[in-house]
Amino acid sequence: MRQANLSDSSKCLFIDDDRKNVDAAKKMGWGCVHFYEHESESVEGGPPSGIGTGEGCDDDIGMTVIHDLERLREVWSHVFTPEES
């Protein structure tokens, strides 16, 4: 936030495929989206396992989960301007 010269954490938007990073940003008050591609797997210190819980809203903490970055146009529509014809 310091580098972006922001003092209002609600103006910070964060997207990442690592849920731990997204959870940390959410605790700081940032707008967050957890991104993972279909059939992605995690192999951190063990056997491969699926990442994420499905697209939509992860009900345990209200986290938005997406599979396609184009969905950000819907999730954070206030950030994007309409495409010109």
Rounded to a whole number of angstroms, the CA Rg of the chain reads 15
| Confidence (pLDDT) at 15 | 93
| Confidence (pLDDT) at 14 | 93
**Contact call for residues 42 and 20 (beta carbons, < 8 A):** no
Kind of pairing, strands 49-50 and 41-42? Answer: antiparallel
| Confidence (pLDDT) at 56 | 52
> How far apart (Å, rounded) are the C-alpha atoms in residues 27 and 49?
25
> How far apart (Å, rounded) are the C-alpha atoms in residues 54 and 64?
10
Q: Which residue has the higher pLDDT, 83 or 15?
A: 15
| Confidence (pLDDT) at 52 | 44
Tens digits of per-residue pLDDT, 7-66?
A: 888 889 999 988 889 989 989 889 999 888 765 555 454 444 444 445 455 545 678 888
User: Which uninterrupted H or E stretch holds 58?
Assistant: strand 56-58
